[in-house]
Chains A and B, each alone.
Chain A
């Protein structure tokens, strides 16, 4: 079981790193996040700055911004997962091989999740460099990293599902953007509604839970939110591919 998952995620990563896409995403993300690491750091170093701490001012700002970048690139990474296999016809190779659909979906899922963990590790090098000359709130940083990983995992699960719906990677990407922005903007709807509905809307919002992680608050509700969402979309994806063989 697990061997096949490793095999498929390995192939996914190999093909990702063979294309320029992975390297370009690596460098663009690193460059943009570096800007949002450098700017708050410079502001913090001003003698007259009003600061609440290095970790809070610089590191949390950076991770907060990194989340938006990951949100924007995620559909581009996940759009090919199944759509391209269909386009190439390689899905028939996978379907006629002795692997289960669950293994296939989890393999693809973990492949991209590992890619994100690499990106997050690269980003984390920047705040880590501060450790040479300053003390940081390591707990808060760890919580930010966990939050970002969970957020990325959810984005992959959503993208994976939308990629399983279509033959065209672009359509998969557009659909994924649609649901991601909906989950992001849903908190705006909260401001105009009654207290009860506002609570629901805020709970559904994708980045609200991430804010808690950024502030160093590790709440099981937030953990539960990301994990439920991921499991939900992975199950939908498995189910979708399963019925495809019957109702194509």
Chain B
């Protein structure tokens, strides 16, 4: 029964910043084990959508339910299932990796008995095994990104929300993070926003293109690529069209 229900269900989300409409009537579902790529030009509403799903922002109208719990009505139960990596890494630079992950793990409500084990597994997955005592401030950008990713997966949430997880990384680090996401997708659902189209092509099952606050495409990658259109062409076509209409 549970398997058939979508893990995350987003219903008609609308959000304004003052008078500016950031997203309008956005609805989509995510199933268990799915990797959803969220694409769109700058300012399209990707980050807003992700922040609403993770409970950082509230929507003006519409609802989000995660594993059957509404994020507004029962936020605690819903948020236990979420791991969120915002675009700006949520790190305390004066803590060590161990201290930070311990705090993040406790915040997410991991029971004391499992704490050490979960943190160790998570550090291993993110390639942080021997760095536990290092101050986050002294890490390179790539390692900071890994710590950010680690706090999002430490409590093994059923849905991981990653806002541009590979921005500012070198090609080797990008590959490593991609591999990690592949591995994570075995047990978790992932929502991923990015500007890099090839990234979506290699790891995502499904693509969602947002432009000016509206969903302009929601398709499985297989179907999309079988139409002999490349993702790049589709993306440019959909986002450019919209520009012309507005002009």
Chain A residues near B (Cβ < 8 Å): 4, 7, 11, 14-15, 18-19, 88-100, 245-246, 248
Partner of A96, one of B84, B89, B93, B109: B84
| A10 vs chain B, min Cβ distance (A) | 9
Partner of B107, one of A15, A18, A88, A94: A94
Does B17 lie within 8 Å of A18, measured CB to CB? no
Q: Name the interface residues of B35-92: CB closer than 8 Å to any CB of A.
A: 51, 54-58, 60, 75-77, 79-80, 82, 84, 86, 88-92
Considering the complex, give the chain A residue whose CB is closest to the CB of B48. A248
Does B86 lie within 8 Å of A92, measured CB to CB? yes
Does B56 lie within 8 Å of A245, measured CB to CB? yes
Does B77 lie within 8 Å of A19, measured CB to CB? no
Does B77 lie within 8 Å of A246, measured CB to CB? no
In angstroms, Cα B106 to Cα A248, docked, is 27
Of residues B51, B92, B95, which shows the largest number of chain A Cβ atoms within 10 Å of its Cβ?
B92
Query: Is residue B99 within 8 Å, beta carbon to beta carbon, of the partner chain?
Result: yes
Known: A93-B86, A97-B79. 19 other contacts (CB 8 A): A7-B107, A15-B95, A19-B94, A88-B92, A89-B86, A89-B88, A90-B90, A93-B107, A93-B151, A95-B54, A96-B54, A96-B55, A98-B76, A98-B77, A98-B107, A99-B76, A245-B58, A246-B58, A248-B17
For A7, list chain B residues within 8 Å (CB).
Answer: 103, 106-107
Query: Is residue B104 within 8 Å, beta carbon to beta carbon, of the partner chain?
Result: yes
For B60, list chain A residues within 8 Å (CB).
Answer: 246
Identify the 8 closest CB pairs spanning chains A and B, nearest first.
A89-B88, A93-B90, A96-B84, A98-B79, A97-B107, A96-B54, A245-B58, A98-B76
In angstroms, Cα B53 to Cα A154, docked, is 36
In angstroms, Cα B54 to Cα A100, docked, is 14
In angstroms, Cα B99 to Cα A18, docked, is 12
Chain B residues near A (Cβ < 8 Å): 17, 51, 54-58, 60, 75-77, 79-80, 82, 84, 86, 88-95, 99, 103-104, 106-109, 151
* CB pairs A–B below 8 angstroms (18 shown): A18-B95, A88-B90, A88-B93, A90-B91, A91-B90, A92-B51, A92-B86, A93-B86, A93-B90, A93-B104, A96-B55, A96-B79, A97-B79, A97-B104, A98-B75, A98-B80, A98-B109, A100-B76
In angstroms, Cα B139 to Cα A239, docked, is 37
In angstroms, Cα B59 to Cα A59, docked, is 56
For B56, list chain A residues within 8 Å (CB).
Answer: 91-92, 95-96, 245
Partner of B57, one of A11, A89, A248: A248
Interface of A is mostly: helix
In angstroms, Cα B86 to Cα A97, docked, is 13
Considering the complex, give the chain B residue whose CB is closest to the CB of A99. B107
For A91, list chain B residues within 8 Å (CB).
Answer: 56, 90
| B56 vs chain A, min Cβ distance (A) | 4
| B75 vs chain A, min Cβ distance (A) | 7
| B176 vs chain A, min Cβ distance (A) | 23
For A88, list chain B residues within 8 Å (CB).
Answer: 90-93
Of residues B54, B58, B80, B151, which shows the largest number of chain A Cβ atoms within 10 Å of its Cβ?
B58
In angstroms, Cα B104 to Cα A7, docked, is 10
Instruction: Check A14/B99 contact, CB under 8 A, given A96-B54, A98-B80, A246-B58.
Output: yes
For A100, list chain B residues within 8 Å (CB).
Answer: 75-76
| B184 vs chain A, min Cβ distance (A) | 17
In angstroms, Cα B107 to Cα A7, docked, is 8
Does A15 lie within 8 Å of B84, measured CB to CB? no
| B141 vs chain A, min Cβ distance (A) | 15
Does B77 lie within 8 Å of A92, measured CB to CB? no
Does B92 lie within 8 Å of A90, measured CB to CB? yes
Considering the complex, give the chain A residue whose CB is closest to the CB of B51. A92
Considering the complex, give the chain A residue whose CB is closest to the CB of B71. A96
| B101 vs chain A, min Cβ distance (A) | 12
| A35 vs chain B, min Cβ distance (A) | 32
In angstroms, Cα B89 to Cα A91, docked, is 11
In angstroms, Cα B86 to Cα A88, docked, is 11
For A4, list chain B residues within 8 Å (CB).
Answer: 107
